[in-house]
């Protein structure tokens, strides 16, 4: 085999190193980490960590000792180029590392806002631990925040900022919140919950410039001519996959590093996993690039298995969650391309699920405060099953009976 070099120590990179050792991989593992912390969990950055008081150590997957015990060489450095002909990577420090197999687990970075004054210090993003740390401090100082983008991260941040007592305005270009990711039923519910909490959501508008007095943010101007005062702006307008290193190495990239159903690039010695990978999916047809912990860790397990002799295509079942205020949203399956939605439970009771169907077959379930429906969906979809829409909508129908 030879050494495995993993570029990036986020959810995917950390899991790959760990799973390789669990599967008995005995050759060197170099896990290259360009962040200033031990590998850590990202989801709490916009949830519990942002709200709480715990230190960075509460986010770490494992303490430093783990890497020594597992003989995982955790390298604090950045890969700056890949020399495929010599099977080695060059690091920013000037060092070089040879590989038997190379894995891109480079993740994604924030899409930056390109409007006047977007580079002021009180215009913030949320991707890495340092971002969350800074925002935790700013939440204690700021009075009015404008959140640009009503996706998961923007709304999670908005809910927390409101709980902390800030005035919160959310700007969204689309006609509803989280429009690219969830059904209208779920968007409507969350819109209402945020509004009840006192968050003002403005749909169908664009931020055209950040207004400032010197270096100090004073507000945001909108495409409809309005101006919203603010002393803090948080931007959540999506991410861009980190594909440049792979592209520079001559690998095929598109809206991600292109890999086949085994998560292999066009070079048999190089794989790509997690947020950066655009993978062929026999289960869903075509190619997918997903941004979730499930995707990153299941990709990692699939590649670890392949590198230790258990070769099989990636066939993970997508799932995701988002915590906003007191509500927990959980998604099982891929709820895109559906043509029918039925509700189980009652939005007015703050507990319901949207069962999504395509041509009569269940493709996914979006649940609000109904963990049982979510777990049912994960089991059923993983087994390739479906449940009749009328039965799903019938509260007296026992979902478990659809599992057998």
Kindly list the residues in this chain that would bind ligand FAD in the complex (CB under 6 A). Answer: 7-13, 32, 34-35, 42-43, 45-46, 78-79, 105-108, 126-127, 153, 242, 245, 274-275, 291-294, 296, 320-322
We find the least distance from the C-beta atom of residue 80 to ligand FAD, in angstroms, to be 7
Nearer to ligand FAD, 199 or 296 (CB): 296
The phi, psi pair for 213, rounded to 5°, reads -115, 100
105 versus 392: smaller Cβ distance to ligand FAD: 105
Q: Which residues pair with 331 in a beta bridge?
A: 320, 366
Least CB distance to ligand FAD at residue 3 (A): 16
**Residue 360: CB minimum distance to ligand FAD, A:** 28
Length of the chain: 404
Shortest distance, CB of residue 169 to ligand FAD, whole angstroms? 20
Among left, alpha and beta (phi > 0; psi -120 to 50; other), residue 125 is beta
Which residue is closest to ligand FAD by CB?
10
DSSP H helices, 249-396, are: 293-307, 371-382, 389-393
Q: Which of 152, 163, 148 is nearest to 366 (CA)?
A: 152
Nearer to ligand FAD, 72 or 153 (CB): 153
| Residue whose CB is less far from ligand FAD, 274 or 364 | 274
- Pick 126 or 217: Cβ nearer ligand FAD: 126
Minimum Å gap between C-beta 320 and ligand FAD is 5
Which of 179, 189, 192 shows the shortest CA–CA distance to 150? 179
Query: Do residues 278 and 287 make contact, with C-beta atoms less than 8 angstroms apart?
Result: yes
β-pair type (277-280, 287-288) = antiparallel
Residue 64 or 223 with smaller CB distance to ligand FAD: 64
> Measured between alpha carbons, how far is residue 402 from residues 105, 161, 354, 393, 398 in Å?
37, 41, 17, 13, 8
Q: Residue 322 CB, nearest distance to ligand FAD (Å)?
A: 5
CA angle 287, 4, 107 (to 5 degrees): 40
Euclidean distance between CA atoms 254 and 258, whole angstroms: 7
Closest separation between CB of residue 262 and ligand FAD, Å?
A: 17
* Identity of the residue, 7 or 368, whose beta carbon is nearer to ligand FAD in the bound complex: 7
């Amino acid at each position: 085999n030879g050494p495995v070099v993993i570029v990036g120590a986020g959810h995917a990179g950390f899991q790959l190193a760990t799973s390789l050792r669990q599967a008995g991989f005995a050759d060197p593992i170099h896990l290259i980490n360009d962040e200033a912390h031990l590998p850590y969990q990202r989801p709490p950055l916009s949830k519990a960590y942002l709200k709480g008081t715990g230190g960075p150590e509460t986010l770490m997957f494992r303490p430093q000792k783990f890497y020594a015990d597992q003989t995982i060489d955790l390298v604090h450095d950045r890969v700056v180029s890949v020399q495929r002909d010599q099977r080695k990577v060059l690091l920013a420090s000037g060092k070089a590392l040879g590989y038997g197999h190379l894995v891109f687990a480079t993740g994604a970075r924030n899409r930056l806002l390109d409007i006047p004054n977007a580079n002021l210090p009180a215009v913030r993003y949320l991707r890495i631990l340092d971002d969350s740390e800074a925002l935790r401090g700013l939440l204690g100082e700021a009075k009015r925040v404008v959140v640009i983008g009503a996706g998961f991260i923007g709304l999670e941040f908005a809910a927390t900022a409101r709980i902390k007592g800030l005035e919160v305005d959310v700007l969204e270009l689309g006609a509803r919140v989280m429009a690219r990711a969830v059904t209208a039923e779920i968007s409507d519910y969350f819109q209402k919950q945020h509004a009840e909490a006192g968050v003002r959501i403005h749909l169908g508008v664009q931020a055209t410039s950040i207004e400032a007095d010197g270096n100090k943010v004073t507000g945001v101007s909108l495409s409809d001519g309005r101006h919203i005062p603010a002393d803090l702006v948080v931007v959540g307008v999506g991410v861009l996959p980190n594909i440049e290193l792979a592209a520079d190495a001559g690998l095929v990239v598109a809206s991600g590093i292109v890999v086949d159903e085994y998560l292999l690039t066009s070079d048999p010695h190089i794989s790509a996993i997690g947020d950066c990978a655009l993978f062929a999916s026999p289960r869903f047809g075509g190619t997918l690039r997903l941004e979730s912990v499930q995707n990153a860790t299941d990709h990692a397990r699939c590649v670890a298995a392949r590198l230790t002799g258990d070769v099989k295509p990636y066939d993970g079942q997508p799932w995701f969650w988002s915590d906003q205020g007191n509500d927990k949203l959980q998604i099982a399956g891929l709820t895109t391309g559906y043509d029918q939605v039925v509700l189980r439970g009652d939005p007015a009771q703050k507990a319901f699920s949207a069962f999504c169907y395509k041509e009569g077959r269940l493709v996914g379930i979006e649940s609000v405060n109904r963990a049982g429906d979510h777990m049912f969906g994960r089991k059923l979809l993983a087994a390739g099953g479906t449940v009749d829409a009328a039965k799903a909508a019938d509260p007296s129908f026992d979902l478990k009976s659809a599992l057998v």
